[in-house]
Amino acid sequence: MTLLDIITKSRSIRRFDEGKRLDIETLKSLVNLARLAPSARNSQALKYKLLQTELACANMFPALAWAGYLTDWQGPVEGERPAAYIIVLKDTLINNNIFCDDGLAIQNILLGATEQGLGACVLASIKREYIRETFSISNHLEILYVIALGKPDEEVVLKEMDKNKFEYWRDDAGVHYVPKRNLDDLLID
């Protein structure tokens, strides 16, 4: 796959084949890609907690809110839930201002997951204190995001955006549609 292919295929996946578990080495390989991302002032203040056992994944699931535009969908059902998670943390003992490091690192994880045939979804609507207590995360580590990972079990289709209708949706067959602005609409003369 070319880089354009990987970027185009890298979508927020919210339904997975839960039976296809991910091993710890796969998660470490994704964090290694994050580690190599540029870092403002080279502080490298991001840390990661890896979860891939069935118990850890079951404990994480109640802390997550899924797909805000799909108001009648409460998230993936059993069998469609993620097979692993990466908790993205900021180590405030290293640096309290990470600028855009989190976005750069997370994008590397998402692209690496896509290259490996995996799907991912970055979640920011999360129960941070529940996560801190459940997974024994130290107070100096700020919980930024949770990345859900697994073998994709849904089809995501990109559509050209109709005016400013940017909300994603699903059709009756469960196909997930994501509108994207036209390139010409983004360029300023």
pLDDT digit string, tens, across residues 66-81: 999 999 999 999 999 9
Beta strand spans in 92-153 (E): 119-123, 141-150
Residues 6+ apart with CB under 8 A from 52: 21, 22, 23, 24, 27, 83, 84, 85
Q: Note the helical H segments in 1-71.
A: 3-9, 24-35, 54-60
pTM, 2 dp:
0.97
- Encode pLDDT of 160-171 as tens digits: 999 889 999 999
Asked if 11 and 178 touch (Cβ cutoff 8 Å), the reply is: yes
β-pair partners for 84: 149
Q: Which residues of the chain have pLDDT under 70?
A: none
CA distance 185 to 150: 34
Residue among 11, 42, 24 nearest 121 (CA): 11
Amino acid at 112: G
> In this predicted structure, what is the pLDDT of residue 138?
98
Dihedral (CA of 126, 132, 136, 141) sign: positive
- Nearest CA to 156 out of 143, 173, 139 is that of 173
- pLDDT value for 115: 98
